[in-house]
A = this chain, B = another copy of it.
């Protein structure tokens, strides 16, 4: 089971709502991304710069447990749960009060945006994330 050491607080905005008057299911992935970007920036990284290459998504998934509504204050928990030479998996959880509203993951590949190729993740990146997560 993933232990989350990083959280990002968000408040649901009007613009996140869909025609069903709750947060559209695709916006859960935007919330994950918001947390992912904040997580990476702890280490001075961004999606486009992991210290030598960028990243690109290979896969994403989400299990929806509870709907989210306007002005809900949520915490998006985020962790790297697995780390290989060319890819890392991130796990996410959206929490409101004490309950989990959604769980998700993304598989992220090291990517060189100049050559458009999947590449090895930088050693420094791997080292820092492993140290932070205790992997």
Residue of B nearest to A9 (CB): B11
A60 within 8 A of B: yes
A37 within 8 A of B: yes
Residue in A13, A21, A26, A37 with the greatest tally of chain B CB atoms within 10 Å: A26
A47 within 8 A of B: yes
> Which residues 49-103 of A have a CB within 8 angstroms of B?
56-64, 67, 70-71
Once the chains bind, are B25 and A29 in contact (CB under 8 Å)? yes
Q: Give Cα distance in the complex from A105 to B64, angstroms.
A: 14
Once the chains bind, are B25 and A47 in contact (CB under 8 Å)? no
Once the chains bind, are A30 and B59 in contact (CB under 8 Å)? no
For A25, what are the chain B residues with a Cβ–Cβ distance below 8 Å? Answer: 29, 33, 57, 60, 106
Once the chains bind, are B24 and A15 in contact (CB under 8 Å)? yes
For A26, what are the chain B residues with a Cβ–Cβ distance below 8 Å? Answer: 15, 26-27, 29-30, 33
Q: Give Cα distance in the complex from A67 to B18, angstroms.
A: 16
Q: Closest CB-CB distance, A64 to chain B, in whole Å?
A: 5
For A20, what are the chain B residues with a Cβ–Cβ distance below 8 Å? Answer: 47-48, 113
> Which residues 10-24 of A have a CB within 8 angstroms of B?
13-15, 17-21, 24
Q: Closest CB-CB distance, A32 to chain B, in whole Å?
A: 9
